[in-house]
Amino acid sequence: MDDLWFPDDPSPIVPVPAAQVDGLRGRRVVTGSPDRGWRGDLRADDAVRHGDTDLVPVLVESDWYRAEQDQVEVFAPLVPIERVWVERTGTAPAGGGNQRDLLSRLVTLDAPAPRTPVPARDAPGLTGRRVVVVSPDDQRRDLRAVTEPFQHDDGSIHVRICDESDWYRWAFTGQPARCTEVPVYLVWAE
């Protein structure tokens, strides 16, 4: 009975103000403001000082990966540091609640909302989404689903996933990503 293992829910994403984080290069970030809204799927570079203001170069993830893989220069808008939050894993927000119950999902607009991963079996439209794969020892992130759940002849249900860097390489080279099949019960959608 000691060899039984049941997956734990992966840690949620909890945005933290960028001014509180050392070393922003390569970090996944959210930008915006309470009066406008929030934008994610971005990566940051280290902050730069301009006069008395700290600015963060922010790129869409596809540009970040293209720059890193091809070692090319890409345009990065400079965003005031007070409008940038770094995505970190954290603890579940108080109340958690039923994700299908609107009232339990209400948030404050003061900062980007935490994001709690959803089991892949409950998440429609998985293809292209960020996913987390859990194991007894780890939570693997920076992955993308490349298929919806599918059933093998033996009845097991899987999802094909790839590293996020391969997902973006596929977009700008046309070369399909290297994929891995993972049992659906180990996959959560961010």
Here the tokens at position 65 are 């990966």
Which pLDDT band, with edges at 50, 70 and 90, does 5 fall under? confident
Note whether residue 161 is domain-resident: yes
What is the C-alpha R_g of the chain?
A: 18
Q: In angstroms, how far is CA 38 from the centroid of its own chain?
A: 14
| Tokens 């730069």 -> residue | 48
Length of the chain: 190
Note whether residue 101 is domain-resident: no
Per-residue pLDDT at 107: 85
Here the tokens at position 170 are 């596929």
Q: In angstroms, how far is CA 130 from the centroid of its own chain?
A: 5
Whether residues 127 and 181 share a domain: the answer is yes
User: 32: closest CA among 105, 85, 106, 88?
Assistant: 85
Last residue in a domain, options 49, 72, 89: 89
Last residue in a domain, options 74, 89, 104: 89
User: Positive or negative CA dihedral for 68, 69, 75, 79?
Assistant: negative
Query: pLDDT per residue over 120-129, tens digit each?
Result: 999 999 999 9
Note whether residue 105 is domain-resident: no
Question: Residue 93: pLDDT above 70?
Answer: no
> How far is Cα 127 from Cα 12, in angstroms, rounded to an integer?
20
Note whether residue 102 is domain-resident: no
Question: Which helix (H) or strand (E) is 159 found in, with range?
Answer: strand 157-163
Whether residues 26 and 84 share a domain: the answer is yes
Which pLDDT band, with edges at 50, 70 and 90, does 105 fall under? confident
Query: pLDDT per residue over 110-168, tens digit each?
Result: 999 999 999 999 999 999 999 999 988 889 999 999 999 999 999 999 999 999 999 99
Structural domains in the chain (count): 2
Whether residues 143 and 85 share a domain: the answer is no
Note whether residue 6 is domain-resident: no
Which residues span the domain enclosing 143? 117-189
> How far is Cα 167 from Cα 142, in angstroms, rounded to an integer?
10
Q: Name the residue with higher pLDDT: 109 or 161.
A: 161
Whether residues 76 and 128 share a domain: the answer is no
Note whether residue 160 is domain-resident: yes
Whether residues 136 and 69 share a domain: the answer is no
Whether residues 82 and 128 share a domain: the answer is no
- Cβ atoms within 10 Å of 116's Cβ, excluding its own: 19
What DSSP string runs through 119-155?
EGGG-S--TT-EEEEE-SS-EEEEEEE-S--EE-TTS
| DSSP state at residue 115 | B
Whether residues 165 and 125 share a domain: the answer is yes
Whether residues 121 and 79 share a domain: the answer is no
Note whether residue 97 is domain-resident: no
Last residue in a domain, options 43, 74, 89: 89
Note whether residue 37 is domain-resident: yes
Whether residues 57 and 121 share a domain: the answer is no
Name 61's Cβ contacts closer than 8 Å, sequence gap at least 6.
Answer: 28, 41, 42, 43, 164, 168
